[in-house]
Amino acid sequence: MDSAYLGGYLDSFLTGDFLPLLQTSRLCPYTCTFCVSGKNRGKLRGFPLEQVKAEIDYITHHFKDNPHLPFHIVDENFGILPQDMEIADYIRWSFETRGFPRGMFFYNDKRFGKISRHVSGKLGAMTKFGLVLSLQTETEETLKEIKRSNLTPEDIDEAIQWASENDLPATTELIFGLPYETRESFIDMLNSAVRRGFDSILINNLFIMDGIEMTHGSFREKHKIKTKLRPIRTSYGYVGSEFCVETQELVIQTNTISFNDFLIMRQLNFMFYAIFSMNFYKWFFQYIRQLGVPLADYLTHFVNESEQNGIKNEKWIRFMRDLKEEALEEQFDSQEEADSHFLETYKANGNETGPPTMLNPYFGARLIYMENDWLKEVMLDILGKFIDPQEKPETFEIASLLIELCSRERIELIDRIPSEPLVSEFDVIAWKKNKFRLPLDSYKVKPVSISFEEDLQFKEKIDKVKKLFLKGKPEEFYYNAYIFIVPQSELLYNISYDSIPVKTEGDEIVSVHGVAHS
């Protein structure tokens, strides 16, 4: 079959309204029961290399004036076939010589062998999440039921170390709602992922689709699976004369997970997304983890309304209630109910789609850019539930410093007012470089001044995003900035020191200085 790109069949879609996609291979060698590809397991077949390169050329020609758009490779596992190394080299060459693509998204091979390392080394810095190790679960009974095997703990630690040495973030994906998983086992797994040093931890709620083993009636009955429908982004509108709404079947209850467990995990899902995907006050959260505060336990306090009422911060209460209400309202009992709801929304919005339905980035953007006035007070108050501020005032001084670092590191996207330098007595760049494995006190230095500077790629991208989206509501502008600017590290200032940090005794500290992304 001829290439759809090279044959001109997709030319009408090669505009700034759409994201460029490329498939370089077919089929998948793995058998995961939660995935359609697992049922269609077969020998991996790559498309002709010269065709793939020609398609990259074609896409680059059409999208070179839209640097804010990330380029997606939609292979199930990119980084298995030997030709994937040459494809990665070619994409990197295209970026360096032609300026496109500047952002990438792909799923690397979960085995993380030689080919996958080469691909991640070439393209990882351009991606949303760097090196991705999709563990999904570490519960043995669950792994057996979903016909999946993971890397060994030693392999995981080695891969995270490799990412650190190559200045790449390390990410894992986990699925909540799988057979035999419980709320407790999943929270334990979250805390374990944080301790391991993953830079990003993505939680996906299990959903069921046609063509996978889990959709069979016998499987649903065995695990007492209950589901509801949830919209996929703002994927609704008229196709010809028919109004269509794209939904996914979301698992909300099993024989080991209650609906209340689902609601609690939905809110923790949001908080982990905000911290580990959107870099929401990550310096602070890594610090309290090292103090012995289990992150999932801290965040449970953050999302719990009764705790909010105890502290009596009305803006905090309103934010969390808005999130919870939206999470409930996005669930529908039938396709007809979803169709009716979104048709009403469509008409009320002047025959256009309404606000974004991706709650994590939408509420994450609101939390980061529009809720700053109450965050420090609430975060320190919750820390006080684990550590007495009267007994350890220095702990709260350091926590306040890191909260301030997080605030100044974040670029204000509309006015772009530069952040003032910040004085620190800790080598935070080295702390992050070493994946926060050692206590912050290990990086105590003579006072240094931290400076903040925009990434060179950022200006052109943000100007394009402002031109397209600034006329709308502020929360929708911030949402779109997060979606389209890839890698998202460009939404933060690069940080550097005015001098080389030295330990308080006068010995130079071992560190990587100059620039760091958080």
pLDDT at 158: 94
| pLDDT level of residue 311 (50, 70, 90 thresholds) | low
How far apart, in whole angstroms, are the C-alpha atoms of residue 96 and residue 90? 10
| pLDDT level of residue 170 (50, 70, 90 thresholds) | very high
Is residue 137 helix, strand or coil? coil
252 neighbors 262 (Cβ within 8 angstroms): yes
pLDDT at 30: 84
For 428-487, the pLDDT digits (tens) are 999 998 889 899 999 999 999 999 999 888 988 999 999 999 998 899 999 999 998 988
For 395-432, the pLDDT digits (tens) are 999 999 999 999 999 999 998 899 999 999 999 999 99
The 10 Å CB-count burial string (b at 16+, else e) for 173-198 is bbbbbbbbbebebbbebbeebbebbb
Most confident of 127-136, 163-172, 244-253, 508-517: 244-253
Average pLDDT over residues 504-513: 48
pLDDT at 508: 45
From residue 463, alpha-carbon distances to 127, 361, 457, 484, 485 in Å are 20, 20, 11, 12, 11
pLDDT at 1: 65
Every domain of the chain and the residues it spans: 204-410
pLDDT at 486: 86
Other C-beta atoms closer than 10 Å to the C-beta of 347 total 11
pLDDT at 516: 46
267 HSE (CA, 13 A, CB side): 23
pLDDT at 517: 43
How far apart, in whole angstroms, are the C-alpha atoms of residue 65 and residue 38? 38
